[in-house]
Amino acid sequence: MPGTTTSPKAGPRSCSSCALRSRCTQKERVARFFLNADGGGLDSVPSALRLPGVAVGVSYSADVNGLALRGQGWFLADHQTGVTVESLGPGLVVAADKPDGSGASKGAMVIVTTYGQDDAAFARTVGQWEDWWQAHYPGAVGAQT
């Protein structure tokens, strides 16, 4: 993919508080998507991923433009939602908005963390998320891996 590089973190790791303790000894790979906008009015990332209402520790399922998201709520914070995603190894997705003073979204972020994916699987994952990102935020910078 143009403009992307791969820099996996090789395990093993120890994560006593990690939602995916059993997977932390597998290779972790991360793709990050960021967008800063001069004006407000962006679509909310958690809403675009159909994550509003996801509760911590509760199973959820959402199909979003070819992305099958299934797992459990991991954390909720103001303007951020974190979920586990089984199809990522399992992995984690953190979706966040950067609101302006009026509460309108002025920026967006998605961090996709996979565990145990080989190069080909990770490239497919990044490609799927890249397609979703560009469909929702045309002209945004692509994945940083």
| DSSP H helical ranges for the chain | 45-48, 119-136
CATH of domain 26-135: 3.30.530.20
Give 8's pLDDT tier (boundaries 50, 70, 90): very low
Phi, psi of 138 (to 5 degrees): -55, 135
pLDDT at 3: 30
Q: Where are the domains of the chain?
A: 26-135
pLDDT of 19 reads: 53
- Greatest mean pLDDT range, 13-17, 27-31, 36-40, 116-120: 116-120
Kindly report which listed range (53-62, 64-73, 75-84) carries the lowest average pLDDT score.
Answer: 64-73
In the prediction, which pLDDT does 120 show? 92
> If you average pLDDT over residues 32-41, what whole number do you get?
66
pTM given for the model = 0.77
Written as six digits, the tokens of 78 are: 């103001």
- Model pLDDT, residue 24: 55
Task: Provide the residue type at 91 as one letter.
Answer: G
